[in-house]
């Protein structure tokens, strides 16, 4: 089966993890600090705070942005459900807005209709790695003192206006789940330019303690820690950070490779009339965390049927990005036409670092032949 995504690991990651274990320090410690510094430098942010996932990163970002009960936070419904869930964690209400078709991201025109006196923040997602237009959204939100948090879960390695995605945000959150380019198994990061916010994030991820366990351990004198506010255990381990440091060094090569593969998909799929594919927005470059295609309006093959046909051909595809407002956990009567079209008619094709030309050609030919099937061929029972 051709997988939809596969992490790009070598022996270096295994060796780095083994060294962390051999050092005897496996919880959050010096390697986490080193990973944070290297990540901040790579992203071009002043501070980076490592956490256990992007979900926990979003939770903490909302807390430090001062969001709480009674507040409304505008989010795209078209996102992994964690984006909306984090808003619920702080007792606020997620308000679902529609997205732009080409980028799958929020834009001022889709956010504006949802602004109310209770809107306190917008979570701007760089969907599937495609950078969202942060400056345009801040032009709308900054004068209204509405915080913009960038959910860059998928976007490490993407660029926005010639800078790394996330660099320009007051708060940006990243994921290191294996569906992303850079992976630590599970893991996340928050970047910010504000030192006081970074210090509070470091306390919040570690039970609200004013001295980290690692600093206490290093001290020659007994240190009595204080718990300044209610915090969480959202720490990353040093084993994960050791892997993350190796993966971060490989990130530029991963992006280059994915962009080559994506270009080949775009060329080879251009012969299918009406098929829309993932691509760069005018103002930046995607890392192609996911290569999605939107089925032509006139296609007689439905998306789920197409996935079934691909699976029969040994190809593992995934449905496109989910829409939270259609899930039982939210089930809202809101109408979001672009979101609904994208979530029901798009799918994600296999794309991974060591994908071979033969594998890619197999995907293209299976997709092309499935999309050119007539209705009778599809509904005919298999013999």
Ligand X SMILES: Cc1ncc(COP(=O)(O)O)c(C=O)c1O
Query: Binding residues for ligand X, per CB under 6 A?
Result: 53-55, 79-80, 82-83, 125, 151, 153-154, 175, 177, 179, 188
As beta bridge partners, residue 150 has 124, 172
- Token pair 């051909």 in the structure block, residue: 313
Q: Give dist(CA 318, CA 383) in Å, integer.
A: 27
Three-state secondary structure call for residue 153: coil
Nearer Cβ to ligand X (59/200): 59
Nearer Cβ to ligand X (110/299): 110
Cα–Cα distances in angstroms (integers) from residue 108 to residues 118, 141, 148, 235, 286, in the given order: 17, 9, 12, 35, 20
CB of 320 to ligand X, least distance (A): 12
Closest CA to 131 of 236, 5, 39, 255: 255
CB of 14 to ligand X, least distance (A): 22
Q: Give dist(CA 150, CA 275) in Å, integer.
A: 29
- Asked if residue 131 lies in contact with residue 284, where contact means CB atoms within 8 angstroms, the answer is yes
Nearer Cβ to ligand X (53/191): 53
CB of 223 to ligand X, least distance (A): 32
Nearer Cβ to ligand X (17/321): 321
Q: Where are the alpha helices (DSSP H) in the chain?
A: 11-23, 30-43, 54-64, 82-89, 108-111, 134-141, 195-204, 213-218, 238-269, 303-312, 337-345, 357-371, 375-379
Nearer Cβ to ligand X (154/301): 154
Nearer Cβ to ligand X (86/295): 86
**Residue 373 annotated to the active site:** no
Q: Give dist(CA 325, CA 81) in Å, integer.
A: 9
As beta bridge partners, residue 203 has none
Q: Which residues have a Cβ under 8 Å from the Cβ of 99 and sit 6 or more positions away?
A: 76, 78, 105, 106, 107, 110, 127, 336, 338, 339, 342
Active-site annotation holder among 6, 180, 250, 373: 180
Backbone angles phi, psi at 89, to 5 degrees: -60, -35
CB of 327 to ligand X, least distance (A): 15
CB of 94 to ligand X, least distance (A): 13
Q: Give dist(CA 48, CA 63) in Å, integer.
A: 16
Burial readout 165-175 (b: 16 or more C-beta within 10 A, e: otherwise): bbbbbbbbbbb
CB of 18 to ligand X, least distance (A): 24
Nearer Cβ to ligand X (184/192): 184
CB of 76 to ligand X, least distance (A): 9
Point out the residues that are catalytic: 180
């Amino acid at each position: 089966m051709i997988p939809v995504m596969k992490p790009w690991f070598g022996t270096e990651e295994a060796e780095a993890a083994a060294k962390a274990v051999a050092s005897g320090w496996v919880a959050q410690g010096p390697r986490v600090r080193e990973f944070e510094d290297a990540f901040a430098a790579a992203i071009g942010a002043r501070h980076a705070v490592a956490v256990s996932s992007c979900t926990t990163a979003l939770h903490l970002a909302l807390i430090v942005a001062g969001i709480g009960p009674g507040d409304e936070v505008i989010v795209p419904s078209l996102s992994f459900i964690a984006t909306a869930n984090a808003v619920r964690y702080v007792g606020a209400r997620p308000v679902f807005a529609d997205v732009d078709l080409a980028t799958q991201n929020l834009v001022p025109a889709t956010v504006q209709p949802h602004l109310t006196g209770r809107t306190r923040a917008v979570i701007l997602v760089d969907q599937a790695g495609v950078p969202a237009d942060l400056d345009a959204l801040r032009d709308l939100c900054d004068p209204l003192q509405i915080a913009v948090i960038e959910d860059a879960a998928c976007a490490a390695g993407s660029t926005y206006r010639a800078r790394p995605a996330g660099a320009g945000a007051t708060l940006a959150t990243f994921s290191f789940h294996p569906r992303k380019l850079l992976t630590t198994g599970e893991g996340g990061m928050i970047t910010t330019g504000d030192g006081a916010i970074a210090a509070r994030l470091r306390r919040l991820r570690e039970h609200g303690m004013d001295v980290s366990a690692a600093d206490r351990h290093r001290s020659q004198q007994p240190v009595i820690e204080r718990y300044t506010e209610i915090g969480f255990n959202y720490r990353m381990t040093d084993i994960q950070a050791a892997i993350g440091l190796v993966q971060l060094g490989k990130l530029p090569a991963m992006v280059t490779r994915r962009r080559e593969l994506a270009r080949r998909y775009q060329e080879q799929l251009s012969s299918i009339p009406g098929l829309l594919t993932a691509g760069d927005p005018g103002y930046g470059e995607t890392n192609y965390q996911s290569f999605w295609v939107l089925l032509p309006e006139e296609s007689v093959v439905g998306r789920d049927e197409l996935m079934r046909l691909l699976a029969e051909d040994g190809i593992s595809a995934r449905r496109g990005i989910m829409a939270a407002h259609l899930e039982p956990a939210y089930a809202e009567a809101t109408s979001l036409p672009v979101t609904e079209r994208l979530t029901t008619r798009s799918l994600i094709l296999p794309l991974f670092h060591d994908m071979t030309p033969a594998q890619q050609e197999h995907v293209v030919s299976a997709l092309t032949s499935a999309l050119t099937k007539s209705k009778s061929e599809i509904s005919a029972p298999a013999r």
